[in-house]
């Protein structure tokens, strides 16, 4: 009886590598790590019943090993960082906190780069961006939530983003898909023009101000259709409109273009089942120096920009440009600390100044039929912004569209202009927030 068991373990070991290279995007995130900043995003699911933490813990213990690239810790090599399987106990479910998405020191939390929280009927998962993007993370969370519901006695099928926890992970789930598609014959230059930056009063360490707007997908879609645009294009235009108004109010000395940094899920264009990062950034922008844009003109600009740039040709070129740096033989042999310094400088001086705000739209989330009745809605947060500004994340489920703003500044002008514009357009918006400052002063 002993032999087959030995064979089985040997086979499993061969399948599961003892370390993973960071993918192309993931290289940047750990270098930006500061005492008061980590690239952490949060995904939340609101169920219809109160969460039972002990059952959730069991679901995590059973579900997380299915995702070997998420059950890891990050280590430093001489030239690059790498991910190493983490077999220590955890991650453990914790009670939720108000200042979420807080920095994630690499050696805390038993080395895990993933955290789970519960609060009433909300389950939240926070992951460091070096593990994977929102789509990958959502897959992990939904699989765990499906397992949680199964432990409560419900029958949930494995379908779409809910994976089978007993299945051996596919090689494609663990791969760095960038490298497979970074093969265009030309490397288009990166857009590098300084954008308008929201100036705000930094909140004390460590505060995350959140404003959530909840609305109906049908209503937003109807308004977007009126403007001949999709929901993403419409909401992009509203955010650009809010930022333009903010710049006007700021009475800045030099006008700058208003730009959004918007991640595009590359899985839509290049076949990939990778659960790691597979996104690239596009920058829809409006340049007020050219003249005053009406809202319809902003929508038209965003609409055409998106139609022009979001296709496999342009995106492939973009990936190739990014991959060229990592593939360069000289860059590869430069010690990590020099790379860290250079990347940080580049990010602070160029990349971060390239956009006025971040906006991500995860789109309509599809769940297995049997899971839908238990879910109320989803929330996603881009986490603490690198520089004092505000980030916006959008997700929809059935008829509920949620827009989550996360910022580390006191001012809420961008959010106000944004939601007021939606209300003006006839959309019913419900606001939730963790901001409660100022009340004592007012009363």
Site residues (vs other proteins, CB under 8 A): 95-99, 102-103, 105, 107-109, 119-120, 122, 206, 210-213, 412, 415-416, 419-420, 423-424, 428-436, 438-439, 442-443
Q: What are phi and psi of 338, to 5 degrees?
A: -70, -40
**In whole angstroms, how close is the CB of 4 to other proteins at the nearest point?**
40
**In whole angstroms, how close is the CB of 90 to other proteins at the nearest point?**
12
Between 213 and 358, name the residue whose CB sits nearer to other proteins. Answer: 213
Between 91 and 317, name the residue whose CB sits nearer to other proteins. Answer: 91
**In whole angstroms, how close is the CB of 429 to other proteins at the nearest point?**
5
Between 14 and 442, name the residue whose CB sits nearer to other proteins. Answer: 442
Structure tokens of 394? 């959008």
Quick one: CA dihedral 327, 328, 332, 337, positive or negative?
negative
Between 1 and 439, name the residue whose CB sits nearer to other proteins. Answer: 439
**In whole angstroms, how close is the CB of 214 to other proteins at the nearest point?**
9
Q: What are phi and psi of 225, to 5 degrees?
A: -60, -35
Counting beta carbons within 10 angstroms of the beta carbon of residue 403, is it exposed (0 to 12), middle (13 to 18) or buried (19 or more)? buried
**In whole angstroms, how close is the CB of 35 to other proteins at the nearest point?**
8
**In whole angstroms, how close is the CB of 308 to other proteins at the nearest point?**
34
Largest CA distance in the chain: 80
Between 96 and 398, name the residue whose CB sits nearer to other proteins. Answer: 96
Structure tokens of 160? 């779409």
**In whole angstroms, how close is the CB of 103 to other proteins at the nearest point?**
5
Which helix (H) or strand (E) element contains residue 9? helix 2-15
Q: How far apart are CA 298 and CA 335, in angstroms?
A: 45
Helices marked H in 271-424: 295-309, 312-327, 329-333, 336-346, 413-424
Whether the CB-CB separation of 145 and 123 falls below 8 Å is answered with yes
Whether the CB-CB separation of 256 and 264 falls below 8 Å is answered with no
- DSSP, res 363: E
Q: What is the helix, strand, coil percentage profile of the chain, to 5? A: 40, 20, 40
Counting beta carbons within 10 angstroms of the beta carbon of residue 410, is it exposed (0 to 12), middle (13 to 18) or buried (19 or more)? middle
Between 370 and 434, name the residue whose CB sits nearer to other proteins. Answer: 434
Between 111 and 284, name the residue whose CB sits nearer to other proteins. Answer: 111
Between 247 and 412, name the residue whose CB sits nearer to other proteins. Answer: 412
Between 118 and 196, name the residue whose CB sits nearer to other proteins. Answer: 118
Between 105 and 188, name the residue whose CB sits nearer to other proteins. Answer: 105
Distances (CA, A) of 361 to 71, 81, 134: 26, 29, 10
Q: How far apart are CA 369 and CA 234, in angstroms?
A: 29
**In whole angstroms, how close is the CB of 74 to other proteins at the nearest point?**
13
Counting beta carbons within 10 angstroms of the beta carbon of residue 335, is it exposed (0 to 12), middle (13 to 18) or buried (19 or more)? exposed
Return the ∠ at Cα 289 (arms to 409 and 224), rounded to 5°: 70
**In whole angstroms, how close is the CB of 410 to other proteins at the nearest point?**
11
Residue with tokens 């949620």: 402
Between 119 and 309, name the residue whose CB sits nearer to other proteins. Answer: 119
Q: How far apart are CA 247 and CA 239, in angstroms?
A: 12
**In whole angstroms, how close is the CB of 133 to other proteins at the nearest point?**
24
**In whole angstroms, how close is the CB of 401 to other proteins at the nearest point?**
14
């Amino acid at each position: 009886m002993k032999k087959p068991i030995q064979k089985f373990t040997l086979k499993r070991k061969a399948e599961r590598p003892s370390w993973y290279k960071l993918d192309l995007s993931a290289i940047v995130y750990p270098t930006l790590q500061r005492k008061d900043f980590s690239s952490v995003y949060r995904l939340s699911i609101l169920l219809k019943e109160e969460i039972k933490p002990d059952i959730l813990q069991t679901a995590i213990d059973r579900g997380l090993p299915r995702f070997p690239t998420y059950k890891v810790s990050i280590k430093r090599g001489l030239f690059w960082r790498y991910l190493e399987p983490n077999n220590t106990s955890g991650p453990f479910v914790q009670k939720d906190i108000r200042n979420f998405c807080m920095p994630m020191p690499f050696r805390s939390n038993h080395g895990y780069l993933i955290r789970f929280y519960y609060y009433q009927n909300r389950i939240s998962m926070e992951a460091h961006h070096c593990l994977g993007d929102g789509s990958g993370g959502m897959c992990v969370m939904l699989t765990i939530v499906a397992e949680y519901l199964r432990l409560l006695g419900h029958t949930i099928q494995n379908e779409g983003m809910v994976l089978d926890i007993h299945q051996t992970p596919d090689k494609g789930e663990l791969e760095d898909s960038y490298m497979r598609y970074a093969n265009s014959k030309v490397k288009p230059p990166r857009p590098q023009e300084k954008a308008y930056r929201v100036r705000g009063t930094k909140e004390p360490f460590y505060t995350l101000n959140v404003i959530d707007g909840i609305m109906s997908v049908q209503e937003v879609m109807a308004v977007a259709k009126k403007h001949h645009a999709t929901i993403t294009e419409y909401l992009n235009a509203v955010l650009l409109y809010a930022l333009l108004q903010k710049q006007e109010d700021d009475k800045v000395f030099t006008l700058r273009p208003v730009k959004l940094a918007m991640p595009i899920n590359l899985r839509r264009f290049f076949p990939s089942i990778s659960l790691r990062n597979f996104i690239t950034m596009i920058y829809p922008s409006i340049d007020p120096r050219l003249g005053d844009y009406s809202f319809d003109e902003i929508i038209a600009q965003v609409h055409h920009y998106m139609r022009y740039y979001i296709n496999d040709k342009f995106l492939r070129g973009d990936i190739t440009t990014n991959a060229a740096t990592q593939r360069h033989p000289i860059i590869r042999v430069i010690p990590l600390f020099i790379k860290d310094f250079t990347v940080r400088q580049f990010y602070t001086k160029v990349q971060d100044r390239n956009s006025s705000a971040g906006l991500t739209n995860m789109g309509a989330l599809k769940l297995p039929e049997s899971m839908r009745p238990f879910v109320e809605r989803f929330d996603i947060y881009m986490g603490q912004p690198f520089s004092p500004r505000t980030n916006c994340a959008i997700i929809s489920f059935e008829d509920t569209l949620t827009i989550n703003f996360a910022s580390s500044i006191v001012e809420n002008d961008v959010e106000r202009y944004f939601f007021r514009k939606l209300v003006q357009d006839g959309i019913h918006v419900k606001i939730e927030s963790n901001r409660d400052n100022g009340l004592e002063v007012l009363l």
